Amino acid sequence: MKVTLSQAIEQLKSNSVVALPTETVYGLAARFDSDSAVQQVFNLKKRPQDNPLIIHVEDQSQIKPFASYFPSDFEQLAKAFWPGPLTVILPVKANAILPIVCAGLETVAFRVPAHPLTLQVLNAVGPLVMPSANLSGSPSSTNPEHVEHDFGKDFPVLDGGVCAKGLESTIVHFYEGRWVIVRQGSISAEVIESVLGYRPVIMQKSDRVIAPGQHYRHYAPCAKLVFERRCDEPPYILGFRERDYPTGSRVLLLGSLANPEETAENLYRVLRQLDEEGAEWAWVDLDFPQDGLWATIRERLQRAAGIH
């Protein structure tokens, strides 16, 4: 159910949960300082309690009271990417944040989102936790209809249109003297390198530092995604505009090979469409570049396929 900006603000102030738009994906918002509101977010998403949440703030200055220390180059990262799709993990000050938010860790994640409506909400309500507005394990929501599909027609959503980025924020963590990527996202390692002067290493599932959420199956439709060509005419193909595919297959276009931003924006909508159409399986054309935003797209497809 679409709500107005002032309704969204009122409901959040009274400790209800509301879905809000961001430039990456829709988020399930609740006041960060309300134990019951945060618990509702976990319940609604059916999210494991050991998976911490990102605190969203209107302005970098608002995180000062909560972090015990700011690692080197934090200022540069914030200046380069906020508001925008970067999440930064910082050491949490003792007793400054509800344990449920950090899932008991000694760190806490922050982000300043770049959507004008949500910045107005943050200005009026204060910091908000905001996991992606999808049932745990499913593809994230990139438009209000996806949110209503997962949480029901009556669930309050502030309509901010289609999310421009379409993939979640990139999460960085300062580890052993360097920033590392613990979740790939809308900002590629190469773009972060242009600010830091070195390329942050992308942590793998087996590494010691990783966003806890990366251990779970994620972003997955019910339809099975297959990468090896099993037959000449797969029932469904996820592919690219420039390519020719068999005429007997139903092709869902991800975008153009010349424009990874377009595929990023479309990816979760296309994964959800497979389930809406009742697809059992789809072959995914993974013949695209390895670098930049394509690396995040490949990682999301692999996770959606249950590989990783």
Please state the separation of Cα 171 from the chain's center in Å.
Answer: 10
Q: Within the chain, where are the H helices?
A: 5-13, 35-45, 74-81, 99-102, 116-125, 144-151, 189-196, 260-276, 293-304
Give the DSSP letter string of 190-215. Answer: HHHHHHHSSPPEE--TTSSS--GGGG
Q: Which of residues 152-181 bind ligand TXA (CB under 6 A)?
A: 168-169, 171
* Cis amide leading into 83 (omega within 30): yes
Structure tokens given for 181: 């990527």
Comparison of 53 and 267: residue with beta carbon closer to ligand TXA: 53
Tokens 């070195």 correspond to what residue? Answer: 198
Residues 132-171 as x/- pattern, contact with Mg ion by CB under 5 A: x---------------------------------------
Structure tokens given for 263: 């595929």
Comparison of 52 and 239: residue with beta carbon closer to Mg ion: 52
Q: Which of residues 84-113 bind ligand TXA (CB under 6 A)?
A: 85, 87, 89, 102, 105, 107-109, 111, 113
Q: Are 174 and 58 in contact (CB under 8 A)?
A: no
Per partner kind, with CB cut-offs from 5 to 8 A, the member of Mg ion, ligand TXA, none near residue 260 is none
Residues 118-147 as x/- pattern, contact with ligand TXA by CB under 6 A: ------------xxx---------------
Nearest distance, CB of residue 250 and ligand TXA, angstroms = 30
- How many residues in the shown chain lie near ligand TXA by CB under 6 A? 30
Nearest distance, CB of residue 188 and ligand TXA, angstroms = 15
- Give the span between the Cα atoms of 52 and 45, in whole angstroms: 13
Q: Which of residues 54-83 bind ligand TXA (CB under 6 A)?
A: 54
Nearest distance, CB of residue 132 and Mg ion, angstroms = 3
- Give the span between the Cα atoms of 200 and 179, in whole angstroms: 6
CA distances from 122 to 12, 23, 174 (A): 10, 15, 26
Residues 99-138 as x/- pattern, contact with Mg ion by CB under 5 A: ---------------------------------x------
Across the beta sheet with 178-183, the strand order is 2-3, 157-158, 18-20, 27-31, 128-129, 54-56, 107-111, 86-91, 170-175, 178-183, 201-202
Residues 177-216 as x/- pattern, contact with ligand TXA by CB under 6 A: -----xx---------------------------xxxx--
Considering the rule CB under 6 A, would residue 306 count as an interface residue with ligand TXA?
no
Tokens 């996806």 correspond to what residue? Answer: 146
Note the residues at the interface with ligand TXA (CB under 6 A): 22, 24-25, 27, 51-54, 85, 87, 89, 102, 105, 107-109, 111, 113, 130-132, 168-169, 171, 182-183, 211-214
